[in-house]
């Protein structure tokens, strides 16, 4: 299986704390349990969709940020008269 070499970004403060927390939890596990966890982590890395960093719900826009901002501003209705329909 061919693996892609990715440049790893520096971990955030929260990510570092999560790793420390998990490490302290896993410290008391048996060697076979740790190997099973490592195996599952590796499988999850291999099964991530291409083009993502594993973030669920990752937003990949087709438009530029400027276009999105412009559309949002144009859709605002401050100061405009609104007509409400009755049910």
Q: What is the pLDDT of residues 71-85, one digit of tens each?
A: 888 888 776 677 778
Query: Which pLDDT score, from 0 to 100, does residue 56 have?
Result: 62
Cα separation, 74 vs 6, whole angstroms: 39
In a domain, 17, yes or no: yes
Q: What angle do CA 48, 42, 57 make, to 5 degrees?
A: 25
In a domain, 35, yes or no: yes
Query: Which pLDDT score, from 0 to 100, does residue 1 have?
Result: 43
Averaged pLDDT, 45-63: 69
In a domain, 42, yes or no: yes
58 pLDDT band, cuts 50/70/90, is low
In a domain, 63, yes or no: yes
Query: Which pLDDT score, from 0 to 100, does residue 40 have?
Result: 92
Query: Which pLDDT score, from 0 to 100, does residue 17 have?
Result: 92
Residues spanned by the domain of 18: 13-75
Domains of the chain: total: 1
In a domain, 86, yes or no: no
Report which of 84, 9, 3, 23 is spatially closest to residue 53, judged by C-alpha positions: 9
Give the H/E segment covering residue 72: helix 65-75
Any idea which residue has 């276009």 for tokens?
67
pTM: 0.41
How distant, in Å, are the alpha carbons of 12, 29, 36, 68 from that of 39?
Answer: 24, 15, 5, 41
């Amino acid at each position: 299986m061919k693996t892609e070499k990715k440049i790893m970004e520096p971990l955030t403060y929260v990510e570092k704390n999560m790793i420390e927390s998990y490490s302290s939890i896993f410290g008391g596990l048996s060697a076979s349990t740790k190997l099973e966890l490592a195996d599952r982590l590796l499988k999850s890395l291999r099964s991530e969709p291409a083009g993502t960093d594993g973030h669920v719900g990752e937003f990949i826009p087709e438009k530029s940020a400027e276009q999105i901002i412009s559309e949002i501003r144009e859709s605002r209705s401050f100061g405009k008269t609104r007509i409400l329909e009755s049910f």
